[in-house]
Structure 1
Amino acid sequence: MQLPFFVYGTLKQGGPNYMRYLTGHTTSELAAYLEGAVMFTQGPYPFLTREPDLLPPAAVVYGSLISIRPPVYQLVLADLDRLEGYVAGASENLYERVRLDVMTANGPQQAWVYIAGTHALQLIRTGQMRSIPGGVWSTE
């Protein structure tokens, strides 16, 4: 099954990694959000987490649900895994790729979501990253 991706940072349309990895490869892009999630950052890109001890009340992250053209899906998946530092089964991934339900105007839909890996969570818990208020990532 070729799940869409929920993107919330540099892979959103207009972001630097959208142009590099997604331009010309999408079949649909819908506004979406993920409840029970919060973002943190220490630089040019965000980390999303759903760890209960890190969530403020009514935590939500806003982004886009992006579907990839079937002929290039596996290529885009491999490129995004590389970008996000994800290797299936590895214990020290920068991000983990997980299947979650995200909300769209059409209701819930399953998607791949890259969430903070173990090292990033350690940095968050030790105060080395700041939270992103409002659940919206911006490079401005």
Structure 2
Amino acid sequence: MNECERLWVYGSLLSGFFNHVKVLEGRVVSLHPARVKGRLFHQLHKGYPALLSGSDWVYGELLQIRDFSSVLPLVDELEGYAAGGADNEYDRRMSQVFYQQDGAWLAVGAYVYWYARRDLGTKENPALYLPGGDWKGYMRG
């Protein structure tokens, strides 16, 4: 996998969810269950997750994307990200992602969208902490 072609997803871009179909379907070359260190929340009014820095394991999917340079702007728009943007909802950062191959955990770099606003858990944006780090499992309940 080429580092610049990797994206780690943990919310509505996961396989089987609406934004995966809308933005990524037909463009995923490979998909691996994977995890990052962080803290995961479900935003109750928005209906999608927020990832913050932390020490929990958060579970998602590591994707290798075909035609990555044309897909990335679509994902940026979906995530409310603009390079250098002062009011980004999410910031896209190269992050360490862990996935299993042949029984061994491997660490690779991939783009991850981290929640950037300071409103998480406020009256305007109530949030539920997901200590298990699995938004897909939470949504499928």
**Normalising TM by the smaller chain, what interval?**
0.7 to 0.9
Q: What's the counterpart of residue 99 of structure 1?
A: 94
- Residue 41 of structure 1 corresponds to which residue in structure 2? 42
TM-score (norm 2): 0.84
Give the distance between the partners of 2:114 and 2:17, measured in 1 at CA: 18
User: What does 1:13-28 correspond to in 2, within 5 Å?
Assistant: 13-28=15-30
Percent sequence identity is 33
Q: Superposed, which structure 2 residues align to 1:100-139 within 5 Å? A: 100-106=95-101, 107-118=106-117, 121-124=118-121, 128-138=126-136, 139=139
Pairwise CA distance, 1:125: 6.6
| Misfit runs of 4+, over 2 Å | 121-128
User: Normalized per residue, which structure has more strand?
Assistant: 2
Structure 1: runs of 5 or more not aligned: none
Please give the root-mean-square deviation of Cα atoms over the aligned residues, in Å: 1.7
Corresponding residue number in structure 2 for 1:6: 8
> Which residue identity does 2:131 align to in structure 1?
P
5+ long unaligned stretches in structure 2 = none
- Kept in 2, the 8 Å contact 1:3–1:110? The answer is no
Tell me the TM-score normalized by structure 1. 0.84
Structure with the largest fraction of helix: 1
Amino acid at match of 1:95: Y
State the Cα distance separating 1:123 from its structure 2 match: 2.4
8 Å Cα contact 2:10-2:61 kept in structure 1: yes
